[in-house]
Chain A
Amino acid sequence: MPENITEILNNASKVKHNFYTAIKVSQMLDDFNVNITNLSKVISADYALTATILKHCNSAQYSFARKITTINDAISVIGFKILKTIIFTIVTKASFMEEISGYGMMKGDLWKNSISCAVYSKYIAGLINYDDPDQAFTAGLLKDIGKTMLNDYVKKHFKQIMDLCINEKIAFSDAEEKIIGYSHSQIGGLVAEKWKFPKILIDTIKYHHNPEEAENNDCEDLDLIRIVHISDSISSMMGHGIGLDSLMYNVDASCFKKLGLKSKSENIESLISEMVNLNPEISLLNSSI
């Protein structure tokens, strides 16, 4: 018996509180005539967020010659695009640090998995000269936002979902859809739509486990979905914060070729080797946010 979608989406309101400023800033930045004073006001109204932005801007990651003391200062040295990424990273951490017990994720696991996927996505975006690596970072970061909302339902139906995965050899997200009525990707996509995220982020959240399905569904940016799909798969293969659903997903190897990446065993192993070398960067980012 599928669950009620309105009830599931009600869980989103708890998470939205953290995302409120990020959504507002994102919408303001999508407007080309953005007023910097207004933007600073919206961010500065959130004291905790402002403090974390300033801490991050003054961290070893940037090593600016002078101390950054205001949001106006921060905008002038790092620019809008990076500021948006930082804000999404901060608010995502606040929501994703929680224990997601339905998926067997301990406190901090979902965050570890997401920040690794974000860094890996930005890296692959750079490799293929994708035009907005920071957007790839944000997409990689937010792909599992639906897990925070579907958590209680996965917990309730866990045995049925897992039995279906094992008996029919289907992906965990497909089993979620069959038992609950919706997968975490679909719920994440619906919430992102409700919160008026950019369409390419909505599509990535929705199709990150099924990039092939995206090809038949009017998605603007298939490459971004493929980047996040590969990064998510490799991040899980490296064991970053994975839960009970572990590796119970399919990986679409055709994404490599479609992105212009070589896909022989040695090419994939080289790519993984390079990605693993980014792990200290992930730790640094983690400690400065």
Chain B
Amino acid sequence: MNEIKLKIGELQITTKHGLMLVIEGLSSCIGLAVYDKRAKMAGMAHIVLPSSSISNEKDINEEFGKYADTAVPGILERMLSLGSKKEDLIIKIAGGTSMLSLENEDNPLNIGERNIIAVKKAINSLGLHITKADVGGYKKRTLKLNVINGAFYIKTIGQEEIEF
């Protein structure tokens, strides 16, 4: 099985069977994985930050996988425009860890918590909901999605990989 490892800020949508979409080393970032069980279409984004409003890059289109408010519609609206139906979409998220001293979301350094909130909000605003989430805590995770059958896997460091 060929793995496509998504870099930080990268986004992928594919129907290519025999592929596994993978995000390794999820820490404060969020891995968003979406599967259309009818079309066997998979999407994944390695989201770094909650909002593109801070971006001073000239062309936001080139890096819309980096921010929750652009990556979420970047995957979901695209899949809907390709023919997916809302009721067929399975949406799972993982990551959003925080450093030890940052447990309340008001701390400006608590990117993990703000990412979780922003991703949930962006998904809900499209009239969709998260099927499953494994977020928060202190430990890094690896998220995988098999394109052919929509099997999701999660591995938290120090633990076995499990179906998710």
Interface residue ranges, A against B (CB under 8 Å): 104, 169-171, 233, 236-244, 246-251, 253, 263-270, 272-273, 276, 279
Q: Is the CB of B140 within 8 A of A249?
A: no
The stretch from B13-21, B72-80, B94-102, B122-130 touching chain A is: B94-102
Interface residue ranges, B against A (CB under 8 Å): 7-9, 24-29, 48-51, 53-56, 66, 97-102, 107-109, 111-112, 114, 138-140, 157-158
Q: Which of B48, B56, B98, B101 meets A276, CB within 8 Å?
A: B48
Task: Give the docked Cα–Cα distance between A128 and B55 (Å).
Answer: 20
**With contacts A242-B140, A265-B108 known, is A273 near B49, CB below 8 A?**
yes
Q: Is the CB of B66 within 8 A of A250?
A: no
Q: Is the CB of A269 within 8 A of B25?
A: no
Q: Is the CB of B111 within 8 A of A276?
A: no
Task: Report the minimum CB–CB distance from B6 to chain A (whole Å).
Answer: 12
**With contacts A104-B158, A237-B111, A273-B55 known, is A246 near B27, CB below 8 A?**
yes
Chain B residues with CB below 8 A from A264, complex form: 108
**With contacts A246-B27, A247-B27, A273-B55 known, is A238 near B108, CB below 8 A?**
no
Identify the 6 closest CB pairs spanning chains A and B, nearest first. A239-B27, A239-B25, A250-B101, A237-B28, A265-B108, A247-B138
Q: Which of A247, A250, A253, A263 meets B97, CB within 8 Å?
A: A247
**With contacts A237-B111, A253-B108 known, is A273 near B48, CB below 8 A?**
yes
Task: Give the docked Cα–Cα distance between A219 and B161 (Å).
Answer: 44
Provide 14 A-B residue pairs closer than 8 Å at the C-beta atoms, listed in order of the A residue. Answer: A171-B100, A237-B97, A238-B8, A239-B8, A246-B27, A246-B140, A247-B98, A247-B99, A250-B99, A251-B102, A269-B51, A269-B54, A273-B55, A276-B66
